[in-house]
Amino acid sequence: MPFKRNVYDTAVYREPTPIQDRENPFQSMVERFDVAAEILELNPGFYEYLSRPTRVHVTSVPVMMDDGRMKVYEGYRVIHNNVLGPSKGGIRYAPDVTLNEVKALAAWMTWKCAVVDVPFGGAKGGVVCDPKAMSPDELERLTRRYTANLMDVFGPDRDIPAPDMNTNEQIMAWVLDTYSMHARRTENAVVTGKPVELGGSKGRREATGRGVMTVTLAAMDRLGLSPSECTVAVQGFGNVGSIGARLLSEQGCTITAVSDISGGYYNADGLNINEMMDYAKAHDGSLEGYPHADPITNEELLTLDVDVLVPAAKEDQITESVARATQAKIIAEGANGPTTPAADPILREKGVLVVPDILANAGGVTVSYFEWVQDRQGYFWTLDRVNRRLDRIMRRAFDRVYETAQEHDVSLRIGAYVMAIRKVADALQMRGIYA
């Protein structure tokens, strides 16, 4: 199966943001964690334990390039927590991956799994590389060496990787094969997000976008909005953004704007999402040159007069200035960490209902859990069964987060953190500390 990069496999490649211009994502996580910990009156020792990673792995990944040179890349795997079960989290390839970013993403995975009541802990991996400049053979060698270096970390009962930014089903197949060769047995459950032919789950590719759709509809219900009367703008047209947009469109919403790395596209009468997905697939995953929309900037998209905004691109997009200018009634965070901590109180004061990332994009890890269960059983479910179970779990998680937020008079984000931290802390209390 040849390596392909298209809108269905992975998020659209992003250009690196200069390090000095970026928020520290781990600090962003800790700031939200602190608020929830104070509400819970969390034991100080538990605070110290849960606010930092359990293990951090940094590995050099040597790769023989096609021209005969050897190049060494830096790889990371962070295990934030495994109190509830084996750790779980994706692997991303990007030139601007940092250890702080991976630490934050691993922590968010811990809270995400707890919010949707999935028995996993949180982990994340990354390799500092430019996948856009690498050949399929180079990417395969990179993936196999990274996997081999982490053989003592990965495992179906220890730590289970999955696709993330700029990685896809094919890369997960290489992870599966490399691990299985070293283990001397086929271990399908060591990785999720792999091809269906190798034990992947039906519905996994669409799961994160479907979860975004489900919680967005739940938020509309709470505000008394009808999907047929709602307009939506989606930042990002990779796997999450494109599928989320398509599914919301199928529910009757009017998608007036989307964007990808090439820019924003706006049509007040509504965009044809299926047509745009076909266009992107035919143009190497890019919407550049799409003829049936007006070009707009990314900031214009984020501040359009729409009912729903879905940031599904990258971190730190909704800043203080964007929060002040946003006109959306609902923000459903398809991306990880798209809103800075400083923007949170502004959005709350404006009455914007923000469905946080650790809830809104948890559909992916939920179906990853389904995939892991199916692999362990050797029995695979129909697409309808996967989708019904996903919708039920996401709707139930939204309702529980909403009720927790109401109970403590806080935002949905802090409500989600309170619920997640309480679950992990309670498990830690029952297990005790081994000494």
The residues that are catalytic are 124
Q: Which single residue is written with the structure tokens 């879905």?
A: 310
User: DSSP label at 37?
Assistant: H
Distance CA 257, CA 309 (A): 10
| Rounded-to-10 torsion of CA 389, 163, 208, 103 | 110
Strands 308-311 and 231-235: parallel
Residues near 138 by beta carbon (within 8 Å), at least 6 away in sequence = 63, 65, 66
H/E run at residue 87: strand 87-94
* Residue 26 in tokens: 């781990």
Do the Cβ atoms of 358 and 420 come closer than 8 Å?
Answer: yes
Strands 294-296 and 159-163: unpaired
* Residue 162 in tokens: 């999955």
* Residue 160 in tokens: 């289970």
User: DSSP label at 339?
Assistant: B
